[in-house]
Structure 1
Amino acid sequence: MARFDIFRMGDALVLDCQADLLSDLPTRIVVPLLPKQKAPPAKKVLNPIFRIDQAEYVLATEFVACVDRRELGAWIGTLSHCERDVVGALNLLLTGF
């Protein structure tokens, strides 16, 4: 389990955004990845759009949550190559910048 890994959680996808340094905690900070056609209109920086398995997903940053790590299902992939976009969205949500 690593920062910016994508996991299945029930019928949905979530992005693990927690620092690897805190991997021993029983919880993880996650942000839902919503199918673009089902997501609210994306805001430019707050809701970056990513292509995952031939489909577009919106990072629903405003729905960030803490979950028990045991709730995370199958590993789907990683967005580590998109760190700048993900951190930018989280920074906007948490600091306004």
Structure 2
Amino acid sequence: MAQFDVYTNPSKATKQAYPFLLDIQNSILSDLATRIVIPLGKLEHVRNESMQILTPIIEYKDEKLILLTPQIASIPNKILKEPIGSLAHLRDDILGAIDFAVTGF
């Protein structure tokens, strides 16, 4: 599992609104039984969540999605299957959103 890998959301209950999960945990912590993820939400399912720094709009698989940083969560790594892509090229935006959530700057 690599930092900034994208996984299909395994939850039947939330998959339609949040089709992907972004793994933000550093690989140095790979021995833990959990991974820290941020959901990627479809814009039509998200209301008033957009704050440019905290919840940037990103493009993935030709679709505009919102990085829902306030919904950061820890999930068991065994439920994440094979990664389907990576957002490592957006590292600065992702870390900026996390930093803003924690520090407000």
TM-score band, normalised by the shorter chain? Answer: over 0.9
Equivalent residue number for residue 31 of structure 2? 24
- Give the deviation of 1:87 after TM superposition: 0.1
Pick the aligned partner of 2:44 from 37, 44, 53. 37
Aligned amino acid, residue 53 of structure 2: V
Unaligned runs of 5+ in 1: none
Aligned amino acid, residue 26 of structure 2: A
Question: Runs (4+) of structure 1 moved beyond 6 Å?
Answer: none
Aligned equivalents of 1:55 and 1:49: distance in 2? 10
Aligned amino acid, residue 20 of structure 2: L
- Superposed, 1:6-85 pairs within 5 Å as 6-10=6-10, 11=15, 12-41=19-48, 42-85=50-93
Unaligned runs of 5+ in 2: none
- Aligned pair count? 97
70-79 vs 56-65, which moves further: 70-79
SS at match of 2:97: helix
* TM-score, normalising length: structure 1: 0.93
* TM-score, normalising length: structure 2: 0.87
